[in-house]
A and B are shown apart, each in its own frame.
Chain A
Amino acid sequence: MAALGELMGMARRVDAHRPNPRAVVDAAGWRLAADALRDGRVTLLGLWGDRAAVHMALLDESAGNFGVLSLDCPAGRFPSIGAVHPPAIRLERAIRDLFGLEPEGAPDARPWLDHGRWDLAHPLDRSPRPRHREAAPYVFLPAEGESLHQIPVGPVHAGIIEPGHFRFTAGGETVVRLEERLGYVHKGIEKLMEGADLDRAAKLAGRTSGDSTVAYAIAFVRAAEAALGVEAPARGQWLRALMAELERLANHFGDIGAICNDASFALMHAHCAVLRERVLRAADAGFGHRLMRDCVVPGGAAVDLAPAGVAAIRALLDEAQRRFPPLVALYDNTASLQDRTVGTGVLRPELARRFGAGGYVGRASGRAFDARRSPGYAPYDRLKFAVPVREEGDVDARVWIRIREVEQSLDLIGQILERLPTGAIRAPLPSIGQSAEGVALVEGFRGDVLIWLRLGGDGKVERCHLRDPSWFQWPLLEAAVEGNIVADFPLCNKSFNCSYSGHDL
């Protein structure tokens, strides 16, 4: 607590910010926070712009809590965090693109989300100006050496996946440098959030990253409920957790199969795709939508679980518990597959820690962080589950973390069905008549989703920031791929499975 408490203690506390504290610091306090980040005393959870202000969320991992620090920047400038703490670099580039706020001393002056295609410059600024000049061509970082060659890939990829550009510099077969260029699917979600009522805003949040629609919706409604000072009824909260675990299950099944498929082991892919389909069908039977989109709403859940849905989910548990263990044995016993995954795409634990990598990326590299456990939220405080961790940091470790999490989620779903409280599923929302702020950190299948929002007196969203776990995972993919052969990139990439849409917003 010491580091975070110290930083927050020196600052002016903001009252209407729940449940975690927010405090406004001056430039000196902001720089102290940068030092604390550099020294690893706190972990960066998020860094985002506002009108003439910047905010950053800091996690104190030993104490298991987090807070938000803010700096007013009336002159449109703030001291760069990225100058001393690299995980902040892309976040600051995004702030400059969207708000026109200048990170002073930032190491990278290139735009990030802005490809020069919008009609507006700094679209989230108070009064965005029309853009007149053509954007300069994007300059990739140099890699120099004898007989190096570049391989440009994307934005349109060979598979049925999201768009993004990868620029490889290779020496023969070996990747010397990978640089990502993202932002292709930037939809302007944070601008659309401005002025949206809570129902529309929750739908937008649920369409930030399609594979994590439940996790995003839960994070959004938890932040909104915190701001409004209302709590969802117990049954609503448990139903949300049920949906979240089904979502985790579906994605992990899909990923385990797809990673093996990228090692040309199609059998595993076929079997895992069947299990994934069974999860989606059970979700459809239980909640009326295969991905459970728009089933989580402000105040609770939109649909109650009928007995037929319970039966469908129980049948899924039986099927998965029967079919999955032989597949795990198959993965473990296939030497040709292990040959591809073991020792490939190693992410060193110190990098995972420094970047605060969430999800299986962090947990496969020794970072035992899971937002369900700490800071924790209902109903996970009343459920039993383990947080699997490995130290190897390779593709194999990221597969095993998923395998263990599948087992945990199957168990969690069983516990939830067993002890599902009765009663209402949705609480009415009060009108508060004044501005209020809320924040939430929710564990999606990919890692922790952070959502921060400010509601106006009319109950509409004034500003909402959505931070995907991928922000801290994409840069690590660049590091993990270095020194691997080009042909292993799909394997490494799939084992990270970062979100493009969630990152690009």
Chain B
Amino acid sequence: MRKHLFEGLIRSPLTEPAPMPDDAALAELAAALDRVARRRLGRSLAIREVDAGSCNGCELEIQALSNAFYDLERFGLRFVASPRHADVLLVTGPVTKNMREALERTYRATPDPKWVVAVGDCARDGGLFAGSYACLGGVASVIPVDLHIAGCPPPPVQLLKGLLALLSDEVARK
């Protein structure tokens, strides 16, 4: 183990430079973000991920945000285990009817101010699962959504762009 730790000291980091915040996401957020609330939170957001019927593809890419290449925590963003500790809910999936109540309860358990980010194409409108007897078709049909990050699943860089938009000063000034 000593060898691995020592190697870690001398190897150059794998971490990618920070991407620019996504323009479309910024525009969408401009309407949603409250500057006062943002100032209170500073550059630190706690994120609670909720799978509301995803195929698990989005989860895999959200997990990848924590690897050495994307290193989410350097931006002050971190995943927390409880909605009661969260500022942001990251919701995936077309919202199955069997998950509706759990999603609503998770939302209610999250303290204000809070933002909801819908991740993936099914979280926008149900995607390929739209019209199913078992799906509601999109996160916005259950709880208010502040930002969509498109993709099936969105790659980590896309997710980072969207989340950075949440932190961006630009948004608050607009």
Chain A residues at the B interface, C-beta cutoff of 8 Å: 115, 117-120, 123, 128, 155-156, 158-163, 183-189, 191-192, 200, 203-204, 207-211, 213, 254, 267, 270-271, 273-274, 276-277, 280, 284, 290-291, 293, 326, 330, 333-334, 499-501
Determine the chain A residues whose CB is within 8 A of the CB of B5 once the complex forms: 267
Interface residues on B, range: 35 or more
Q: Which 8 residue pairs spanning A and B have beta carbons closest together? A: A210-B57, A188-B134, A158-B81, A210-B56, A188-B132, A273-B67, A210-B55, A117-B97
- What CA separation (Å) do A254 and B60 show in the bound complex? 9
Identify the closest chain B residue to A337 (Cβ).
B1
B129 touches A290 (CB 8 A): no
20 contacts across the A-B interface (CB closer than 8 A):
A117-B98, A155-B102, A156-B51, A156-B106, A160-B63, A184-B102, A185-B54, A186-B134, A187-B96, A188-B132, A188-B135, A191-B134, A203-B128, A207-B57, A207-B152, A208-B55, A210-B55, A210-B56, A330-B1, A334-B1
For residue B42, give the distance in angstroms from its CB to the closest CB of chain A. Answer: 24
Query: A162 touching B67 by the CB < 8 A rule?
Result: no
What chain A residues lie within 8 Å of B79 (beta carbons)? 160
Say whether, besides A267-B1, A273-B66, A162 and B51 are in contact (CB < 8 Å).
yes
Q: Are A207 and B66 in contact (CB under 8 A)?
A: no
B162 CB–A CB distance under 8 Å: no
Which chain B residue lies CB-closest to A211? B56
Knowing that A128-B133, A160-B49, A293-B152 touch, tell me 11 more A-B residue pairs with CB under 8 angstroms: A117-B98, A118-B97, A123-B133, A155-B99, A160-B63, A187-B129, A187-B132, A209-B56, A210-B59, A267-B1, A277-B68
Q: How far is the CA of A254 from the CA of B63 in the complex (A)?
A: 10
**Which residues of B have CB within 8 Å of A189?**
129, 132
B96→A210 contact, CB < 8 A: no
Instruction: Please determine whether B56 and A499 come into contact, CB atoms closer than 8 angstroms.
Output: yes
Chain A residues whose C-beta falls within 8 Å of the C-beta of B49 in the assembled complex: 160
**Which residue of A184, A208, A210, A280 contacts B99 across the interface (Cβ within 8 Å)?**
A184
CB of B128 to closest CB in A, whole Å: 6
Which of B14, B83, B98, B153 interacts with A184 by CB under 8 Å? B98
CB neighbours (8 Å) of A160 from chain B are 49, 59, 62-63, 79
**A489 shortest CB reach to chain B, Å:** 15
Cα(A187)–Cα(B98), bound, Å? 9
- Which residues of chain A come closer than 8 Å to B66, judged between CB atoms? 273
A128 to B132, CA, bound (A): 13
The reply to whether B133 and A185 form a contact with Cβ atoms under 8 Å apart is: no
- Chain B: CB-nearest residue to A274: B68
Given A159-B81, A210-B59: A115 and B98 interface contact (C-beta under 8 Å): yes
Could you say which of A185, A326, A333 contacts B51, with CB atoms under 8 Å apart? A185
Q: How far is the CB of B53 from chain A (nearest CB, A)?
A: 5
Q: Kindly state the separation between the CA atoms of A224 and B150 in the bound complex, as whole angstroms.
A: 30
Contact string against A for B residues 113-148, beta-carbon threshold 8 Å, 1 for contact and 0 otherwise: 000000000000000110111110000000000000
**Nearest CB in chain A to that of B61: its residue:** A290
Given contacts A187-B129, A192-B132, contact A162 B99 (CB under 8 A): no
Task: Provide the bound-state CA to CA distance between A334 and B2, in Å.
Answer: 11
Chain B min CB distance to A500 (Å): 7
Q: Does B21 count as interface, using CB distance less than 8 angstroms?
A: no
Complexed CA–CA distance, A353 and B3 (Å):
41
Q: Which residue of B lies closest to A200 (CB)?
A: B128
User: How far apart sit A271 and B132, CA to CA, in the bound complex (Å)?
Assistant: 40
* Across-interface contacts of A155 in B (CB, < 8 A): 99, 102
Given contacts A117-B98, A162-B51, A277-B64, contact A267 B134 (CB under 8 A): no
Asked whether B106 lies within 8 Å of A162 as measured between CB atoms, the reply is no
Cβ contact within 8 Å between A501 and B98: no
Q: Which residues of chain A are within 8 angstroms of B128 by Cβ–Cβ distance?
A: 192, 200, 203-204, 207
Complex partner residue of B53 from A118, A187, A276, CB under 8 angstroms: A187
- With A117-B98, A160-B49, A326-B3 in contact, do A188 and B133 touch (Cβ < 8 Å)? yes
Q: Give chain B interface residues in 13-61, CB to chain A under 8 Å.
A: 14, 49-61
Q: Note all chain A residues with C-beta closer than 8 A to B1.
A: 267, 330, 333-334
Alpha-carbon separation in the docked complex, A184 to B53 (Å): 7
Q: How far is the CA of A189 from the CA of B106 in the complex (A)?
A: 26
Q: Is there an interface contact between B57 and A188, defined as CB atoms closer than 8 Å?
A: no
Taking CB atoms, residues of chain B closer than 8 Å to A499 are: 56
A351 to B62, CA, bound (A): 35
A185 and B4 contact, CB distance less than 8 A: no
Report Cα–Cα, A128/B134, bound state, in Å.
13
| B134/A163 in contact, CB under 8 A | no
Q: Which residues of A contact B134 (CB under 8 A)?
A: 118, 123, 186-188, 191
* Max count, chain A CB within 10 A of own CB: residue among B5, B96, B135: B96
Given the complex, which residues of B lie within 8 Å of A188, measured CB to CB? 129, 132-135
Neighbouring B residues of A211 by C-beta, 8 Å: 56-57, 60
Residue pair B60, A291 in contact (C-beta under 8 Å): yes
A185, B132: Cβ atoms closer than 8 Å: no
CB contact between A185 and one of B14, B57, B96, B101 (< 8 Å): that residue:
B96
Determine whether the beta carbon of B67 is less than 8 Å from that of A209: no
CB closest chain-A residue, reference B94: A187
Interface contact A118-B133, CB-CB below 8 Å: yes
Q: CA separation between A161 and B79, bound complex, in Å?
A: 12
Q: Are A273 and B98 in contact (CB under 8 A)?
A: no
Contact present for A271 and B4 (CB under 8 Å): yes
